């Protein structure tokens, strides 16, 4: 089975796991999310923004790294989706924070999806720089490299475990601000792993994804800093 086929299979599993996470959260007694329905325009804007961001940033990173072709980026999809939804909410006067229910699906989806990137090998251009560490992986060119895809997968799996534990504890703060906590954690850990990737620098030693990671982290920090105080345990609602 080729790396591309394995990648596609893991992508599918990631989506299924993300939907399973949403279903599981909906079955937990006392765990309530905003009552706003996600209507077709909202979903359409989200999909369009995420798709545009995925290909825009993925392909731009290829060009900056002196590579040809077209690529996708999960972080680009995140950034594109965030911008699109924030503009949509601003245009329609929606003040409600609508991301809370996506914290666990996001973490699980990335954790599984990155394994697909790992199986894709050199063709995927998500591998790390050469390393002498004992867990270095040969992606097919005889060079041991950092398996940064697995670093990111393990990191997001750890966040997913942290979030699930918070749900069982009925931790209002984590449940209410889960999406922004997930974004902050994702941006911070992704920024670190970018130093272990062979991407072309954009500003000093920083690559396009360094800057994008900082942008995602900054957005999450601002949203957390301006978040309303959690309600009492009898009035739990995610923002």
Q: Between vectors from CA 50 to CA 45 and to CA 55, what angle results, nearest 5°?
A: 130
d(CA 73, CA 59): 8
Domain boundaries, the chain: 3-36+96-235, 47-94
Model's pTM, two decimal places?
A: 0.90
Distances (CA, A) of 89 to 36, 38, 184: 12, 12, 21
Between CA 174 and CA 178, with CA 177 as vertex, the angle to 5 degrees is 65
Contacts of residue 193, Cβ cutoff 8 Å, sequence gap at least 6: 128, 148, 151, 152
What is the token pair recorded at 211? 């800057």
Q: What does the pLDDT look like over 15-34, one tens digit per residue?
A: 999 999 999 998 888 787 66
The model's pLDDT over 43-58, given as tens digits with 9 standing for 90+, comes to 999 999 999 999 999 9
């Amino acid at each position: 089975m080729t790396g591309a086929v394995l990648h596609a299979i893991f992508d599918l599993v990631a989506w299924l796991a993300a939907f399973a996470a949403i279903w599981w959260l909906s079955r937990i007694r006392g765990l309530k999310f905003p009552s706003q329905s996600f209507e077709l325009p909202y979903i359409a804007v989200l999909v369009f923004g995420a798709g545009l961001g995925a290909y825009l940033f993925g392909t731009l990173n290829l060009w900056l790294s002196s590579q040809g072709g077209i690529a996708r980026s999960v972080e680009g999809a995140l950034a594109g989706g965030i911008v699109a939804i924030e503009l949509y909410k601003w245009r329609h006067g929606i003040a409600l924070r609508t991301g809370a229910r996506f914290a666990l699906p996001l973490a699980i989806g990335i954790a599984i999806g990155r394994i697909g990137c790992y199986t894709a090998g050199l063709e995927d251009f998500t591998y790390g720089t050469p390393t002498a560490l004992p867990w270095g992986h040969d992606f097919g060119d005889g060079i041991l490299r950092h398996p940064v895809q697995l670093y990111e997968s393990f990191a997001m799996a750890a966040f997913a475990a942290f979030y699930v534990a918070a749900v069982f504890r009925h931790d209002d703060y984590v449940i209410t601000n889960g999406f922004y906590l997930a974004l902050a954690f994702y941006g911070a850990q992704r920024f670190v792993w970018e130093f272990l990737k062979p991407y072309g620098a954009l500003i000093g030693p920083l690559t396009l994804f360094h800057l994008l990671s900082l942008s995602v982290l900054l957005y999450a920090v601002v949203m957390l800093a301006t978040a309303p105080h959690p309600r009492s345990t009898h009035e739990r609602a995610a923002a």
